[in-house]
Structure 1
Amino acid sequence: MFAANIPAVAPAEVPADAYLLDVREPDEWAAGHAPGAHHLPMMEIPARLSEIPTEGEVVVVCRSGGRSAQVVGYLMSNGWDNVRNLDGGMRGWAAAGHPLQSEDGRPARVI
Protein backbone atom coordinates (compact mmCIF):
# COMPACT_ATOMS: atom_id res chain seq x y z
CA MET A 1 0.00 0.00 0.00
CA PHE A 2 1.18 3.51 -0.78
CA ALA A 3 -0.21 4.94 2.47
CA ALA A 4 -1.71 3.24 5.51
CA ASN A 5 -5.25 4.44 4.83
CA ILE A 6 -5.22 4.04 1.04
CA PRO A 7 -6.42 0.64 -0.17
CA ALA A 8 -4.17 -0.81 -2.85
CA VAL A 9 -3.92 -3.76 -5.21
CA ALA A 10 -0.88 -5.41 -6.76
CA PRO A 11 -0.72 -5.52 -10.57
CA ALA A 12 -1.07 -9.31 -10.53
CA GLU A 13 -4.28 -9.06 -8.49
CA VAL A 14 -6.23 -6.52 -10.56
CA PRO A 15 -9.57 -8.13 -11.42
CA ALA A 16 -10.18 -8.55 -15.15
CA ASP A 17 -13.44 -6.60 -14.87
CA ALA A 18 -11.98 -3.66 -12.90
CA TYR A 19 -12.46 -0.12 -14.20
CA LEU A 20 -8.86 1.02 -14.63
CA LEU A 21 -8.71 4.80 -14.19
CA ASP A 22 -5.47 6.33 -15.49
CA VAL A 23 -4.92 9.78 -13.95
CA ARG A 24 -1.65 10.64 -15.73
CA GLU A 25 -1.11 13.58 -18.05
CA PRO A 26 -2.02 13.30 -21.76
CA ASP A 27 1.59 12.81 -22.92
CA GLU A 28 2.08 9.98 -20.42
CA TRP A 29 -1.17 8.34 -21.54
CA ALA A 30 -0.25 8.65 -25.23
CA ALA A 31 3.16 7.03 -24.68
CA GLY A 32 1.70 3.92 -23.08
CA HIS A 33 -1.32 2.79 -21.11
CA ALA A 34 -3.17 -0.38 -20.23
CA PRO A 35 -5.57 -1.59 -22.92
CA GLY A 36 -9.14 -0.79 -21.89
CA ALA A 37 -8.10 1.83 -19.33
CA HIS A 38 -10.01 5.10 -18.99
CA HIS A 39 -8.06 8.36 -19.10
CA LEU A 40 -8.98 11.17 -16.73
CA PRO A 41 -6.05 13.44 -15.76
CA MET A 42 -5.74 14.05 -12.03
CA MET A 43 -6.41 17.78 -12.24
CA GLU A 44 -9.72 17.15 -14.04
CA ILE A 45 -11.09 14.74 -11.42
CA PRO A 46 -13.08 17.32 -9.37
CA ALA A 47 -14.91 18.62 -12.44
CA ARG A 48 -15.58 15.15 -13.85
CA LEU A 49 -16.54 13.08 -10.80
CA SER A 50 -19.75 11.93 -12.49
CA GLU A 51 -17.65 9.93 -14.98
CA ILE A 52 -16.17 7.69 -12.27
CA PRO A 53 -18.23 4.59 -11.44
CA THR A 54 -19.59 4.25 -7.92
CA GLU A 55 -20.22 0.52 -8.35
CA GLY A 56 -17.81 -2.23 -9.32
CA GLU A 57 -14.10 -2.06 -8.60
CA VAL A 58 -12.19 1.04 -9.69
CA VAL A 59 -8.38 0.77 -9.76
CA VAL A 60 -6.63 4.14 -10.03
CA VAL A 61 -3.19 4.30 -11.67
CA CYS A 62 -0.47 6.86 -12.40
CA ARG A 63 3.22 6.38 -13.23
CA SER A 64 4.41 5.13 -9.83
CA GLY A 65 1.48 5.36 -7.40
CA GLY A 66 1.74 8.81 -5.81
CA ARG A 67 -0.83 10.76 -7.79
CA SER A 68 -3.20 7.82 -7.93
CA ALA A 69 -3.01 7.44 -4.13
CA GLN A 70 -4.04 11.09 -3.81
CA VAL A 71 -6.96 10.50 -6.17
CA VAL A 72 -8.07 7.41 -4.23
CA GLY A 73 -8.01 9.46 -1.01
CA TYR A 74 -9.99 12.26 -2.67
CA LEU A 75 -12.59 9.87 -4.07
CA MET A 76 -12.95 8.12 -0.70
CA SER A 77 -13.51 11.49 1.01
CA ASN A 78 -16.27 12.14 -1.54
CA GLY A 79 -18.12 8.89 -0.88
CA TRP A 80 -16.47 6.31 -3.15
CA ASP A 81 -15.88 3.02 -1.35
CA ASN A 82 -14.95 0.98 -4.42
CA VAL A 83 -11.53 2.46 -5.25
CA ARG A 84 -8.00 1.10 -4.85
CA ASN A 85 -4.56 2.36 -5.82
CA LEU A 86 -2.44 0.27 -8.19
CA ASP A 87 0.76 -0.60 -6.32
CA GLY A 88 3.76 0.58 -8.34
CA GLY A 89 1.60 2.40 -10.87
CA MET A 90 2.18 1.86 -14.58
CA ARG A 91 5.81 1.05 -13.87
CA GLY A 92 4.65 -1.87 -11.72
CA TRP A 93 2.04 -2.84 -14.31
CA ALA A 94 4.67 -3.03 -17.08
CA ALA A 95 7.22 -4.78 -14.83
CA ALA A 96 4.59 -7.44 -14.07
CA GLY A 97 4.38 -8.17 -17.81
CA HIS A 98 0.95 -6.66 -18.39
CA PRO A 99 0.31 -5.25 -21.88
CA LEU A 100 0.69 -1.61 -22.87
CA GLN A 101 -0.55 0.26 -25.91
CA SER A 102 0.36 3.68 -27.25
CA GLU A 103 -1.62 6.38 -29.00
CA ASP A 104 1.25 7.70 -31.10
CA GLY A 105 2.15 4.63 -33.16
CA ARG A 106 5.50 4.17 -31.43
CA PRO A 107 6.26 1.20 -29.18
CA ALA A 108 4.37 1.62 -25.91
CA ARG A 109 6.39 2.76 -22.93
CA VAL A 110 5.87 4.25 -19.47
CA ILE A 111 7.12 7.82 -19.15
Structure 2
Amino acid sequence: MSFQEISPADTAESLRNGNAVLIDVREPHEYGAERIHGALLYPMSTFDPRALPIDSSRDVILHCGSAKRSGMALMRCAEAGVPINKHLAGGIMLWKREGLPTIKVDPATGRVFDPQQG
Protein backbone atom coordinates (compact mmCIF):
# COMPACT_ATOMS: atom_id res chain seq x y z
CA MET A 1 0.00 0.00 0.00
CA SER A 2 1.37 3.42 -0.88
CA PHE A 3 0.97 6.29 1.56
CA GLN A 4 -0.12 9.82 0.70
CA GLU A 5 1.10 12.95 2.44
CA ILE A 6 -1.67 15.53 2.48
CA SER A 7 -0.62 19.18 2.75
CA PRO A 8 -1.81 21.21 5.73
CA ALA A 9 -3.85 23.48 3.41
CA ASP A 10 -5.57 20.51 1.74
CA THR A 11 -6.19 18.88 5.13
CA ALA A 12 -7.71 22.09 6.51
CA GLU A 13 -9.96 22.37 3.46
CA SER A 14 -11.11 18.75 3.77
CA LEU A 15 -11.91 19.29 7.46
CA ARG A 16 -13.84 22.50 6.71
CA ASN A 17 -15.87 20.73 4.03
CA GLY A 18 -16.57 17.70 6.20
CA ASN A 19 -14.71 15.44 3.78
CA ALA A 20 -12.18 14.13 6.31
CA VAL A 21 -11.70 13.06 9.89
CA LEU A 22 -8.34 13.89 11.45
CA ILE A 23 -6.74 11.39 13.82
CA ASP A 24 -4.00 12.60 16.18
CA VAL A 25 -1.62 9.77 17.11
CA ARG A 26 0.41 11.80 19.60
CA GLU A 27 0.18 11.05 23.31
CA PRO A 28 -2.51 12.53 25.60
CA HIS A 29 -0.20 15.11 27.20
CA GLU A 30 0.74 16.45 23.74
CA TYR A 31 -2.88 16.55 22.62
CA GLY A 32 -3.92 18.24 25.86
CA ALA A 33 -1.35 21.01 25.46
CA GLU A 34 -2.07 21.79 21.80
CA ARG A 35 -4.21 20.24 19.11
CA ILE A 36 -5.87 20.82 15.78
CA HIS A 37 -9.55 21.68 16.14
CA GLY A 38 -11.68 18.58 15.55
CA ALA A 39 -8.83 16.06 15.71
CA LEU A 40 -9.64 12.80 17.49
CA LEU A 41 -7.02 11.24 19.78
CA TYR A 42 -5.80 7.68 19.07
CA PRO A 43 -2.33 7.65 20.71
CA MET A 44 0.47 5.49 19.33
CA SER A 45 1.00 3.89 22.74
CA THR A 46 -2.40 2.17 22.42
CA PHE A 47 -2.96 2.51 18.66
CA ASP A 48 -5.33 -0.08 17.19
CA PRO A 49 -6.06 0.49 13.49
CA ARG A 50 -9.27 -1.55 13.76
CA ALA A 51 -10.68 1.00 16.25
CA LEU A 52 -10.42 3.95 13.84
CA PRO A 53 -13.64 5.62 12.65
CA ILE A 54 -13.67 4.45 9.05
CA ASP A 55 -16.44 6.07 7.04
CA SER A 56 -16.55 5.60 3.27
CA SER A 57 -17.86 9.16 2.84
CA ARG A 58 -14.81 10.78 4.47
CA ASP A 59 -11.05 10.38 4.27
CA VAL A 60 -9.22 9.42 7.44
CA ILE A 61 -6.04 11.48 7.78
CA LEU A 62 -3.54 10.66 10.52
CA HIS A 63 -1.21 13.23 12.08
CA CYS A 64 1.40 13.64 14.78
CA GLY A 65 4.09 16.19 15.59
CA SER A 66 6.27 15.86 12.49
CA ALA A 67 4.76 12.98 10.41
CA LYS A 68 7.09 10.30 11.82
CA ARG A 69 4.60 8.61 14.17
CA SER A 70 1.71 9.02 11.73
CA GLY A 71 3.85 7.23 9.15
CA MET A 72 4.39 4.39 11.65
CA ALA A 73 0.63 4.33 12.32
CA LEU A 74 -0.01 4.03 8.57
CA MET A 75 2.30 1.01 8.51
CA ARG A 76 0.27 -0.53 11.35
CA CYS A 77 -2.92 0.13 9.36
CA ALA A 78 -1.45 -1.61 6.31
CA GLU A 79 -0.30 -4.59 8.41
CA ALA A 80 -3.80 -4.90 9.91
CA GLY A 81 -5.49 -4.63 6.49
CA VAL A 82 -7.17 -1.34 7.44
CA PRO A 83 -7.61 0.84 4.32
CA ILE A 84 -6.12 4.10 5.66
CA ASN A 85 -3.21 5.53 3.69
CA LYS A 86 -3.17 9.31 4.28
CA HIS A 87 -1.30 11.46 6.76
CA LEU A 88 -0.63 15.15 7.32
CA ALA A 89 2.64 16.21 5.71
CA GLY A 90 4.97 17.68 8.34
CA GLY A 91 2.51 17.04 11.17
CA ILE A 92 1.25 19.74 13.49
CA MET A 93 4.64 21.51 13.22
CA LEU A 94 4.13 22.25 9.51
CA TRP A 95 0.43 23.00 10.14
CA LYS A 96 1.48 25.78 12.55
CA ARG A 97 4.31 27.04 10.31
CA GLU A 98 1.73 27.52 7.56
CA GLY A 99 -0.30 29.72 9.91
CA LEU A 100 -3.16 27.32 10.51
CA PRO A 101 -4.85 27.52 13.93
CA THR A 102 -4.52 25.20 16.90
CA ILE A 103 -6.21 24.97 20.26
CA LYS A 104 -3.68 25.66 23.04
CA VAL A 105 -3.85 25.36 26.79
CA ASP A 106 -1.76 27.63 29.02
CA PRO A 107 -0.15 25.18 31.47
CA ALA A 108 0.15 27.87 34.16
CA THR A 109 -3.52 28.90 34.19
CA GLY A 110 -5.42 26.18 32.31
CA ARG A 111 -6.82 28.86 30.02
CA VAL A 112 -7.85 27.51 26.63
CA PHE A 113 -7.05 29.48 23.48
CA ASP A 114 -9.26 28.38 20.61
CA PRO A 115 -9.27 30.78 17.65
CA GLN A 116 -12.42 29.13 16.29
CA GLN A 117 -14.31 30.07 19.46
CA GLY A 118 -13.46 33.75 19.13
Question: What TM-score results when the alignment is normalised by the length of structure 2?
Answer: 0.76
Gaps of 5+ in 2: none
Name the structure 1 match of 2:4: 7
Aligned residues of 1:64 and 1:89 also touching (Cα < 8 A): yes
**Which structure has the greater CA radius of gyration?**
2
CA deviations over 1:23-82 (Å, ceiling 9, x no partner): 101111111101111011112112x73243253201101100100001012112222324
Quote how far apart the aligned CAs of 1:107 are: 5.1
Q: After the TM superposition, which parts of structure 1 deviate over 3 Å for at least 4 consecutive aligned residues?
A: none
1:70 pairs with 2:72: yes
Cα RMSD of the aligned pairs, angstroms, is 2.2
Name the structure 2 match of 1:20: 22
* Aligned residue pair count: 104
Larger RCO, structure (CA 8 Å, separation 6 or more): 1
Aligned residues of 1:21 and 1:38 also touching (Cα < 8 A): yes
Measured at CA, do residues 83 and 6 of structure 1 come closer, stay the same or move farther in structure 2, by a change above 3 Å?
closer
One-letter amino acid of the structure 1 residue matched with residue 53 of structure 2: I
Identity %: 26
1:38 pairs with 2:40: yes
One-letter amino acid of the structure 1 residue matched with residue 42 of structure 2: L
Q: Give SS of 1:19's match.
A: strand
Quote how far apart the aligned CAs of 1:101 are: 0.5
